[in-house]
Amino acid sequence: MRILLVEDNQALAEGLTTILRGSGYVVDAVADGASAEAVAAAEAYDLVILDLNVPEMDGLDVLRSMRARQNKAAVMILTARGTPEERVKGLDLGADDYMIKPFDISEFEARIRVLLRRQAWLRSSVVQYGGVTLDLPSRTFSSHGVPLDIPAREVALLELLFMRAGKVVSKDAIVASLTGFGDDLSANAIEQYVSRLRRRLAPHGLTVKTARGIGYYLEAAAPGA
């Protein structure tokens, strides 16, 4: 899942980015409101973590602009502006949660999980393809009820292929989904992820096929094969 972090405190932004990426999320970080509005309009995010006191454009104006464009990403306001009036205004404008700085990291991570589970439930809770099931709220894969042990970045790749099962996903789309700003994911790295996924999925009737020169797609074995 992809998160946009809008925070002008560099140390805090770097710390939160490290924590979120360690949990397997793809994170883009910007430091001002104008950049946040532009990026949120151009890219698809599951969650936006939004500081209100950012330069160039107030966070509430960013939120107002997002909702006016029917952007349905979950929004967590993360700010030092904690008066009841500020909270009510943010929630009325369409924020899904509101945390006051300073905050507890464990609570922050728990609230992130709640918001992303809610986003997943809005789409659908469970998706099945072949003999493998994806539980969207928990981002876990299983086969016949047995969880599959898949590292975080491979989970992100498999999620992408799974949600477009049978359709070719371009290499550019894979890079965009697996990386944040400033990340560098080479073609060789993608091929390594694909190769490892093939080995993990082979016993469960799924394989990642190559559309030469274009990208990859997920294919289920025929029944009885």
Q: How confident is the model at residue 43 (pLDDT cuts 50, 70, 90)?
A: confident
Q: Please check whether residues 184 and 106 belong to one and the same domain.
A: no
Query: Does 16 share its domain with 91?
Result: yes
Strands laid side by side in the 169-170 sheet: 169-170, 215-220, 206-211
Structural domains counted in the chain: 2
66 has pLDDT over 70: yes
* pLDDT(177) > 80: no
* Residue 225 counted as domain residue: no
Q: Of 66, 90, 122, which one is at a domain's C-terminal end? A: 122
Q: How confident is the model at residue 34, as a pLDDT? A: 95
pTM as predicted? 0.63
Do 135 and 109 sit in the same domain of this protein? no
Residues 83 and 182 both lie in one domain: no
Q: What is the pLDDT of residue 83?
A: 86
Indicate if 93 and 138 belong to the same structural domain: no
The pLDDT, as a whole number, for residue 223 is 56
* Across 151-171, average pLDDT: 86
Question: Reading across the β-sheet that carries 126-129, which strands appear in turn?
Answer: 126-129, 132-135, 140-143, 146-147
What does pLDDT average to over the chain?
Answer: 87
User: Domain holding 27: CATH number?
Assistant: 3.40.50.2300
| Mean pLDDT score, 49-75 | 93
pLDDT at 60: 93
pLDDT higher than threshold 60 for residue 214: yes
Boundaries of domain holding 172: 126-220
pLDDT more than 70, % of the chain: 94
Instruction: Give the CATH number of the domain where residue 180 resides.
Output: 1.10.10.10
Identify whether residues 143 and 117 lie together within a single domain. no
pLDDT, residue 124, reads: 61
**Does residue 65 belong to any structural domain of this protein?**
yes
